[in-house]
Structure 1
């Protein structure tokens, strides 16, 4: 049975282009494997507390000295980390906000990135410990950032690729929904193109898992 972790982060909810296309990926995966287990994390509807002194203090102190608040915050991180490790396929939907990721998604990544749990440091440098995952990253952007003069200002895709790889997740398929604010016709075409890619991606992942 395939375990799927489905993470959305757009504050636009169901109207979000990234969420809509990510849902198509999920639907394609479930269609091919109806018994798949799905864990949903809607980071906009249920935002995580941003990192603060209590959580960071707990990471650098012995558990026996933690306050109840610290235990609760570390417990949140433990749950999120467990969800990632349990997943075979991770689908992440991210809408570009002010040239980068939503703060809710950044916070989720902050809780998942745990020294000694999801990455380690050694003589050879950092080593990601979350391996063997298939990741589908669905991004929506108001303008065109894959090419042209705005490409250098895309701080969403480079960051997500880097942090995922840092944690050990290098098998990443990217689906971009670009130019959704450049006019209705462009938005419709972008969503249609991304939806087609979503279906193909779901099929490829399912076929690969069945062949393994």
Structure 2
């Protein structure tokens, strides 16, 4: 999709809640639609060839949203992928931004994984951790915390950096540098006998230490899981 300028916003008639709900797919009882995600598949070269760039596209879409719904909140995330990755741009974007449906489809077409050996398997493509062939009950945020450290293996990561990366402002649930220790402690407790792979560097932050019995799996045919 290429956008060089925003056309005047069309006149939109307000719809009753019942009419609006009818246009949406059924949602579980007790829930409500709070927004949507629009994946845009276009790389910098294609945007430049159309006489624009990704920043201009983002700003144009934001202005259009503001024109249609004053006060609407927006958040944009750029999808990063290894240079030369094949496939449709929009599919690469969905994988990079961890779209659940795209991830599930990718798991269906991947070859079966080799037999799991004793120890720790940190599977970044499937977003899971196996401890002696048993899945560790990590929450989404606990896995994100572990993944962030794994992808920076050997480097000590400051608490402030972790908070900024995993709880982007303005996140009301973002911890402070003291309570981030609680998140790390919960993660370690679920790693059991292997909790020392997440090491505390006193006065600085945390570091992932790979042992001989730790395997980290990446998906080389898709984009990086970290963005």
Higher relative contact order (CA 8 A, sep 6+): 1
Range class of TM-score, shorter chain:
under 0.3
Q: Which has the higher helix share?
A: 1
Q: What's the TM-score once normalised by structure 2's chain length?
A: 0.23
Larger radius of gyration: 2
